[in-house]
Amino acid sequence: MISKRSIERVIETAKVEEVISNFVNLKRRGVNLIGLCPFHDEKTPSFTVSPAKNIYKCFGCGKGGNAVNFVMEHEGYSYIEAIKFLAQMYHIELEEIEMTGEQKEAEAKRDSLFIINEWAKKRFSNNLFNTQQGVNIGLAYFKERGFRESIIKKFDLGFASADSKDLFNAAKREGYNIDFLKELGLVSEREMDFFRNRVMFTIHNLTGKAIGFAGRIMGNNPKLPKYINSPESDIYNKRKILYGLYFAKNEIRKQEHCILVEGYTDVLSLVQSGIENVVASSGTSLTTDQIRLIKRYTNTIKILYDGDAAGINAALRGMDMILAENMVVKLVILPEKHDPDSYIKEVGPAEFINYIAENEKDFILFKTNLLLEEASSDPVKKAYILKDIVGTLSKVPDPLIRAMYVKECSNLLDVDEKILNSEINKIIKKEIRERNQRKIRNEKVDSSMEVVDKQDKLIADTQTFLKQSDEYQEKEVIRVLMEKGHAFYDETQGLLIVDFILMEVLDLLDYFDNPIYKKIIKFVKDIRDRGAVPDRNDYFNAEEDIREKYFELIMTPYEYADWQRKGMELQTQKHPDKNQFNEANQAIWRLKYKKLNKLIKYNQENIIKNSDNSEQYNTLIKLHMKLLNERKNLANLLNIVIQ
């Protein structure tokens, strides 16, 4: 075991900014460094490294910690592996000390699991090349499939004996811990071999260690599953592993795309033919974690699937997940009755690469076409397709790419672009709201200590805010709209402040007290509906009352933002470019809060008036509860103390 003293030395020596610089491009901003977060997708950096505190924190996804945490999270290392990595980086010699029995067991378990898997891997390989059964059944199978010895050895292929106790007896003889073999799924509770009469595929982690196996049955026994996999263990998490990635990662970087196939043998065939940037998601359907693994090396995934219905459906699943990670997805459907393995064998590598280049289809257009074929002229089905496609389009984060898709889908579906856009915006609006509420909740937890300190002051500020007339809130919303409308509210979603405010405010327009603000909103909406983003020239050239209001508001930008600034002090570290986001949120929330208070009062009067009409009364009471709940949520967002 590594001594506590040397672990402490590693932690003291490791400078978080130096460690992270190995993986993330960091730029100085004030006392901190910032960069694009490696743990979630973003275009404006919210990943912050503080050399002074020796920690990092992402204000987008909430991940944070010290150098050790970073290496664990980023490289998928265990604690000890991370310490070893850092020790190597800083040339620190690790002192080994004797462990107590209990420690030894706990610490060594992971190592033991790796050692046993390594041993099993070698045994399967030895079976394949050096036993009669292995050569006659296993090796014969691989040879028949056209796999050369070099690829069989590179990928650690093997053979599990038909003898039901082969591996178990060998392990026992050599003194391995049978409980660990059970945990790895190599032997069953009844102490029989789990993999029997199967050719074996070793599953490697990113450092090339054997963490699990998959076995394909030999012979024809329809009762047995064709493939079986190791169960999950301390060292094997199916959702975070892609078959072949250890061998493919450098080539994926070089080729700037990753080819995703379905099966182990598809990977082997392609690699053997010289196409090495290929992985398979075997054992599970594609997960977000797997997509993020690929994203460490490239932004483009080309999915190769069999030309049958099952293959196409498999390809369609998981696609929205890839889009949401801001990756480019191309789909290649192979000729009918072919899989990648059979097709490359038939036509050879050059023609295969050619086929991919000529047949790769953009995923969204492919999906739209496919759904249209299925629905033919049924209007009910078509409405359903529309909903499906709109959902998918809303997952495309880049506004320019999305606009292109909207155009093409609008043609394919014969639906007005405006309708598509408005449906997409509804979904995006809902998602942004949910995400921001999550984000704000996270940040609030971080700053909860400060909130306690400032509670008294907060109550006083709340009183001031509630005493202000609605005029202030309406004015503040219009100020943000005119001054910051062209800026991004959410860059990853391509949503501008102007769009955010229009979306939020249009329902409230009837409740506006001041007609000039209503007029400005309609003025802005007209410009926006024409596809332009209103800027200062529009306001300069507008009617006199709008122009005057514009100058009034931009000359005194912070007059009404005083309370808001106080509120913002309560939230930890903000990037300057996040201010527009906060300003827009605060302005909208405060306006809504004000209007909601009015509605609640109005509704209460109605309840009293209708106290003898039980049906009406019940409806109003329900509405009352709903309004109160909404007010509570807003108050929470605004740090308002309801008394």
Query: Burial, 124: exposed, middle or buried (Cβ in 10 Å; 0-12, 13-18, 19+)?
Result: buried
165 lines the binding site for Zn ion (CB under 5 A) = no
Q: Which is nearer to Zn ion, 37 or 596 (CB)?
A: 37
Judged by CB under 5 A, the stretch of 35-43, 186-194, 380-388, 517-525 that binds Zn ion is: 35-43
Q: Which is nearer to Zn ion, 446 or 630 (CB)?
A: 446
182 lines the binding site for Zn ion (CB under 5 A) = no
Please, what is the minimum distance in Å from the beta carbon of residue 63 to Zn ion? 5
Q: How far apart are CA 472 and CA 587, in angstroms?
A: 10
415 lines the binding site for Zn ion (CB under 5 A) = no
Q: Is residue 589 within 8 Å of residue 568, measured between CB atoms? A: no
Report the alpha-carbon angle 529-532-534, nearest 5. Answer: 100
Q: Which is nearer to Zn ion, 32 or 197 (CB)?
A: 32
What are 329's strand-pairing partners?
Answer: 301
How many residues bind to Zn ion according to rule CB under 5 A? 6
Q: Which of 317, 344, 338, 340 is nearest to 329 (CA)?
A: 317
Helix (H/G/I), strand (E/B), else coil: 279: strand
Please, what is the minimum distance in Å from the beta carbon of residue 51 to Zn ion? 19
Q: How far apart are CA 182 and CA 603, in angstroms?
A: 65
Q: Which is nearer to Zn ion, 145 or 439 (CB)?
A: 439
Judged by CB under 5 A, the stretch of 30-38, 374-382, 495-503, 617-625 that binds Zn ion is: 30-38
38 lines the binding site for Zn ion (CB under 5 A) = no
Q: Which of residues 40-79 bind Zn ion (CB under 5 A)?
A: 40, 58, 60-61
23 lines the binding site for Zn ion (CB under 5 A) = no
Q: Which is nearer to Zn ion, 45 or 263 (CB)?
A: 45
Q: Which of residues 219-278 bind Zn ion (CB under 5 A)?
A: none
Our measurement of the distance from residue 556's CA atom to the centroid of its chain's CA atoms, rounded to an integer in Å, reads 41
Characterize the bridge pairing of strands 278-280 and 258-261. parallel
Q: Which is nearer to Zn ion, 64 or 283 (CB)?
A: 64
Q: Which is nearer to Zn ion, 40 or 547 (CB)?
A: 40
Judged by CB under 5 A, the stretch of 33-41, 198-206, 336-344, 392-400 that binds Zn ion is: 33-41
35 lines the binding site for Zn ion (CB under 5 A) = no
292 lines the binding site for Zn ion (CB under 5 A) = no
36 lines the binding site for Zn ion (CB under 5 A) = no
37 lines the binding site for Zn ion (CB under 5 A) = yes
What are 202's strand-pairing partners?
Answer: 213
472 lines the binding site for Zn ion (CB under 5 A) = no
Q: Which of 185, 212, 13 is nearest to 117 (CA)?
A: 212
Please, what is the minimum distance in Å from the beta carbon of residue 299 to Zn ion? 17
86 lines the binding site for Zn ion (CB under 5 A) = no
Q: Is residue 222 within 8 Å of residue 238, measured between CB atoms? A: no
Q: How far apart are CA 388 and CA 395, in angstroms?
A: 11
Please, what is the minimum distance in Å from the beta carbon of residue 46 to Zn ion? 6
Please, what is the minimum distance in Å from the beta carbon of residue 62 to Zn ion? 7
568 lines the binding site for Zn ion (CB under 5 A) = no
First to last CA, the chain: 57
Please, what is the minimum distance in Å from the beta carbon of residue 257 to Zn ion? 24
Q: Which is nearer to Zn ion, 56 or 77 (CB)?
A: 56
Please, what is the minimum distance in Å from the beta carbon of residue 388 to Zn ion? 29
Q: Is residue 515 within 8 Å of residue 526, measured between CB atoms? A: no
Q: Is residue 314 within 8 Å of residue 285, measured between CB atoms? A: yes
With a CB cutoff of 8 Å and minimum separation 6, the contacts of 435 are: none
What are 57's strand-pairing partners?
Answer: 48, 64
Q: Which of residues 479-518 bind Zn ion (CB under 5 A)?
A: none
110 lines the binding site for Zn ion (CB under 5 A) = no
Please, what is the minimum distance in Å from the beta carbon of residue 64 to Zn ion? 9
Q: Which is nearer to Zn ion, 15 or 40 (CB)?
A: 40
24 lines the binding site for Zn ion (CB under 5 A) = no
Q: Which is nearer to Zn ion, 61 or 347 (CB)?
A: 61
Interface with Zn ion (CB under 5 A), residue from 23, 39, 246, 523: 39
Please, what is the minimum distance in Å from the beta carbon of residue 490 to Zn ion? 15
Our measurement of the distance from residue 429's CA atom to the centroid of its chain's CA atoms, rounded to an integer in Å, reads 18
Give residue 634's region: left, alpha or beta (phi > 0; psi -120 to 50): alpha
Please, what is the minimum distance in Å from the beta carbon of residue 142 to Zn ion? 43
Residue type for position 592: K
Q: Which is nearer to Zn ion, 434 or 529 (CB)?
A: 434
Please, what is the minimum distance in Å from the beta carbon of residue 186 to Zn ion? 38
Characterize the bridge pairing of strands 64-65 and 55-58. antiparallel
Q: Which is nearer to Zn ion, 37 or 270 (CB)?
A: 37
Per DSSP (E only), the strands in 239-363 are: 258-261, 278-280, 300-305, 328-333, 361-362
Helix (H/G/I), strand (E/B), else coil: 302: strand
Render 339-403 in DSSP notation, one character per residue: -HHHHHHHHHHHHHHHHHHHH-EEHHHHHHHHHHHHHTT-HHHHHHHHHHHHHHHTT---HHHHH
Please, what is the minimum distance in Å from the beta carbon of residue 39 to Zn ion? 5
Please, what is the minimum distance in Å from the beta carbon of residue 636 to Zn ion? 23
Share in percent of the chain as helix, strand, coil (round to 5)? 60, 10, 30
Q: Which is nearer to Zn ion, 38 or 185 (CB)?
A: 38
Judged by CB under 5 A, the stretch of 36-44, 65-73, 87-95, 175-183 that binds Zn ion is: 36-44
Q: What residue ranges bind Zn ion (CB under 5 A)?
A: 37, 39-40, 58, 60-61
